[in-house]
Chain A
Amino acid sequence: MPTRRDYSLIGRDAQAAVASGLAVAEWYKTDLPRRRMKELMRRSDGPAIRDTLIWLAGFLVFGAGGYLFRGSWWAAPFFVGYGVLYGSSTDSRWHECGHGTAFKTRWLNDLVYQVACFMIMREPTIWRWSHARHHTDTIIVGRDPEIAAMRPPAMLRILSNIFAISSTWSTVKHVIAHSFGRLDEEERSFVPEMERAKVFLVARIWLATHLAVIGLAAWLHSWLPLIYVGMLPTMYGGWLTVYFGVTQHACLAENVLDHRLNARTIYMNPIFRFVYWNMNYHVEHHMFPMVPYHRLPDLHEAIKADLPEPYASTLAAYREIIPALLRQRKDPEYFVKRELPPSARPFRPELHGAAIAAAPGDAASRARAS
């Protein structure tokens, strides 16, 4: 029996979003002078090369430490660090290089994109297209394939992804299906025909690589190859991906055309921002996806007067998210309503109200007035 919100990309709410004009719509953007915008969008290789060299050095240091102390508990902190680099920092590398904004040089974006996709187990072509849809129709019910916390939230799935269990299992099933040349109906709804051969080719390469690592481990009679490469580091190091990722949109307004209302900007410490490549400036990223990660703090300064108050820390965001998730289990219509500053211009509130009221029993007035 379908829930009242139908998140399927080929279901009732997908059709409703198209019919109501919420799909592929124009979204709110803060006005910025063209010259300033061009300056913020300008590409450069320097910051991403620097950060990638530090990143690779981190793999070497943590990987070597884990190897040297293997068999003792002293190896644990090294593998925690290695795992975070492998299973969590790759989330932002995949993301930024997928947008093509991290580096100025195209092939560097493509190279890091492919490597990061393998590490975090996100099939590159599938996720390139799903992410394009995510930006077109951010948390529009029935349109966005990347909604982390649906309503009511699947708490078990969210919690299992602290160790990437649900996401890895899903990827394994899909990679096997793709290696046999099969796409499911939802994937066919956002991956164009001409791109599908790439999906099948990469799935076969991935499968061969994973089998080779398993074979190497069996041949060596050692777990070490599996701890360094493949599914295990994605899983044991994936917790920070969830810790960051859930904050992006969870519990905020669905079916609105204003990223100020459905995304969070959170102030984070420099280590988090290095791991996350500044994706804590998430409202800014969605509003202007062409701005490279290393310019997002500047973009934030330029437009913050038009945005809701940023969260002071990740913990501050979770103080809002956890109670809201728990409440949404019983009351899926509840959401956190972000308040715009008094000087900010609301964008098409009539459409937002209509969309929210579209489902029986929905009412914007049930949102928390913060």
Chain B
Amino acid sequence: MSSVWIEACAVDDIEEEDVLRFDHGGRSFAIYRSPDNEFFATDGFCTHQRTHLADGLVIGDTIECPKHNGRFNYRTGQAKGAPVCVDLETYPVRVVGGKVMIAFDQA
């Protein structure tokens, strides 16, 4: 397994306090832009049921799932209570030349 950096989107593709879907290699991610203009990445689907978080609502450091309102801290992936009980996987993010890059293991 090796970690690779992949371009997910342009900085301007995501508004502040919002989220964007990014699919790559059969996997799906959620890319976040925080209110203080930082970028983060997590797995795309809610750990409760298979609903994509990119349709959800970003409030501060929290992403709320659009289906059952399960909440996660998208900086840490921590599940913040029912109906979500399992944390989200998070991924390193860096911004290079106006592009948002995320790193994940590739077989």
Please determine whether A101 and B69 come into contact, CB atoms closer than 8 angstroms: yes
Return the chain A residue nearest B65 by Cβ.
A290
Q: A41-B57, A43-B59, A99-B69 are in contact. Are A129 and B82 (CB under 8 A)?
A: yes
Return the chain B residue nearest A137 by Cβ.
B49
Please determine whether A128 and B82 come into contact, CB atoms closer than 8 angstroms: yes
Interface-central residue, B18, B48, B68, by most chain A CB under 10 Å: B68
Please classify how large the interface on chain B is, using the bins under 10, 10 to 19, 20 to 34, 35 or more.
10 to 19
Which single member of B49, B50, B83 contacts A128 (CB below 8 Å)? Answer: B83
Q: A24-B50, A38-B57 are in contact. Are A192 and B69 (CB under 8 A)?
A: no
Kindly state whether residue B56 has any CB partner on chain A within 8 Å: yes
Measured CB to CB, the closest approach of chain B to A341, in angstroms, equals: 24
Q: Using Cβ atoms and an 8 Å threshold, which residues of chain A touch B68?
A: 132, 135-136, 289
Please determine whether A290 and B85 come into contact, CB atoms closer than 8 angstroms: no
- Cα A356 to Cα B64 in complex, Å, equals 33
Please determine whether B59 and A290 come into contact, CB atoms closer than 8 angstroms: no
| A residues 1-58 touching B (CB-CB < 8 Å) | 24, 26, 34-35, 37-38, 41-43
Return the chain B residue nearest A198 by Cβ.
B82
Please determine whether B69 and A136 come into contact, CB atoms closer than 8 angstroms: no
Return the chain A residue nearest B80 by Cβ.
A106
- Cα A37 to Cα B19 in complex, Å, equals 13
Please determine whether B69 and A195 come into contact, CB atoms closer than 8 angstroms: no
Q: Using Cβ atoms and an 8 Å threshold, which residues of chain B touch A41?
A: 57
- Cα A136 to Cα B59 in complex, Å, equals 23
Return the chain A residue nearest B52 by Cβ.
A26
A: residues with CB less than 8 A from B are 24, 26, 34-35, 37-38, 41-43, 99-101, 125, 128-129, 132, 135-136, 192, 194-195, 288-290
Please determine whether B49 and A136 come into contact, CB atoms closer than 8 angstroms: yes
- Cα A43 to Cα B59 in complex, Å, equals 9
Please determine whether A194 and B85 come into contact, CB atoms closer than 8 angstroms: yes
Q: Using Cβ atoms and an 8 Å threshold, which residues of chain A touch B67?
A: 135-136, 289
Q: Using Cβ atoms and an 8 Å threshold, which residues of chain B touch A99?
A: 69
Which single member of B49, B55, B59, B83 contacts A129 (CB below 8 Å)? Answer: B83
Q: Using Cβ atoms and an 8 Å threshold, which residues of chain A touch B83?
A: 128-129, 132
- Cα A24 to Cα B49 in complex, Å, equals 7
Q: Using Cβ atoms and an 8 Å threshold, which residues of chain B touch A132?
A: 48, 68, 83
Measured CB to CB, the closest approach of chain B to A290, in angstroms, equals: 5
Q: A24-B50, A43-B59, A136-B49 are in contact. Are A290 and B69 (CB under 8 A)?
A: yes
- Cα A290 to Cα B85 in complex, Å, equals 19
- Cα A38 to Cα B15 in complex, Å, equals 11
| B residues 27-69 touching A (CB-CB < 8 Å) | 48-50, 55-57, 59, 64, 66-69
- Cα A92 to Cα B44 in complex, Å, equals 31
Measured CB to CB, the closest approach of chain A to B61, in angstroms, equals: 13
Please determine whether A290 and B56 come into contact, CB atoms closer than 8 angstroms: yes
Which single member of A43, A135, A195, A288 contacts B82 (CB below 8 Å)? Answer: A195
Measured CB to CB, the closest approach of chain A to B15, in angstroms, equals: 8
Q: Using Cβ atoms and an 8 Å threshold, which residues of chain B touch A35?
A: 15
Q: Using Cβ atoms and an 8 Å threshold, which residues of chain B touch A195?
A: 82, 85
Which single member of B49, B66, B85 contacts A288 (CB below 8 Å)? Answer: B66
Please determine whether A289 and B82 come into contact, CB atoms closer than 8 angstroms: no
Measured CB to CB, the closest approach of chain B to A36, in angstroms, equals: 13
- Cα A330 to Cα B98 in complex, Å, equals 66
| B residues 9-24 touching A (CB-CB < 8 Å) | 15, 18
Return the chain B residue nearest A100 by Cβ.
B69
- Cα A24 to Cα B55 in complex, Å, equals 17
Measured CB to CB, the closest approach of chain A to B82, in angstroms, equals: 6
- Cα A195 to Cα B66 in complex, Å, equals 22
Q: Using Cβ atoms and an 8 Å threshold, which residues of chain A touch B48?
A: 132
Q: Using Cβ atoms and an 8 Å threshold, which residues of chain B touch A37?
A: 55
Measured CB to CB, the closest approach of chain B to A153, in angstroms, equals: 28
- Cα A41 to Cα B66 in complex, Å, equals 9
Measured CB to CB, the closest approach of chain A to B68, in angstroms, equals: 5
- Cα A125 to Cα B83 in complex, Å, equals 10
Measured CB to CB, the closest approach of chain A to B50, in angstroms, equals: 7
Which single member of B49, B57, B59, B85 contacts A192 (CB below 8 Å)? Answer: B85
